[in-house]
Amino acid sequence: MSGVDRRHVLQGALAAVGAAVLGAAFAQVEGKPRVIELTARRFAYEPNEIALKAAERVVIAIRSLDFIHGMNLPDLGMRLDLVPGRVTRLELHPKAPGVIDFVCDNFCGDGHEEMHGRFVVSA
């Protein structure tokens, strides 16, 4: 993806990202966004590549199984702590095609460096 494309999608996503962790109140939001479940465990996100559609509003429901993993989305300027026993919800609303990378930023052991993922937004 070109730099221009990346900037475009990120600007769109930034405009639409609401509170990082929406909690139980999210169910009351209008429009019923698609909910995508994601699991974090040493040393991977599952799935680690998630396809989204531009202009689609989604909620990523994240469960950590074994550690307070991080989820840093540097291009969006936001990060989350994924506490085991909780569901952490991330709302995304990308406006244009592109890629949004994320990475664990809480050192979790031998394999931490492999703990990456990305959202791939298509038209």
Partner 1 sequence: MQRRDFLALTAFGGGAVFASSLAGCASQAQGMPNGYKDFYFVQLSDTHWGFQGPANPDAAVTLRKAVATANALATQPDFIVFTGDLTHTTDDPVERRRRLAEFKSIVADLKVKTVRFMPGEHDASLDRGAAYKELFGETFYTFDHKGVHFIAIDNVSDPGAKLGDEQLAWLRADLAARDKNAPIVVLAHRPLFDLAPKWDWATRDGAQAIELLMPHSNVTVFYGHIHQEHHHMTGHIAHHSAKSLIFPLPAPGSQEKRTPLPWDASAPYKGLGFREVEAEDAGTTLKVTEFPVVRA
* Contact footprint for partner 1 (CB under 8 A): 68, 70, 72, 74-75, 81, 101, 103-110, 112-114, 116
Q: Closest distance between partner 1 and the C-beta of residue 79, in Å? A: 8
Q: Return the structure tokens found at 51.
A: 């396809």
Q: Closest distance between partner 1 and the C-beta of residue 105, in Å? A: 5
Find where tokens 């569901």 sit.
87
Q: Closest distance between partner 1 and the C-beta of residue 77, in Å? A: 10
Give yes or no for a contact between 19 and 91, defined as CB atoms under 8 angstroms apart.
yes
Q: Closest distance between partner 1 and the C-beta of residue 123, in Å? A: 22
- Report the residue number, 29 or 68, with the smaller CB distance to partner 1: 68
Distances (CA, A) of 55 to 25, 33, 69, 105: 22, 11, 28, 28
- Report the residue number, 57 or 76, with the smaller CB distance to partner 1: 76
Distance between CA atoms of residues 17 and 82, nearest Å: 18
Distance between CA atoms of residues 89 and 58, nearest Å: 10
- Report the residue number, 33 or 78, with the smaller CB distance to partner 1: 78
- Report the residue number, 37 or 114, with the smaller CB distance to partner 1: 114
Find where tokens 């506490």 sit.
83
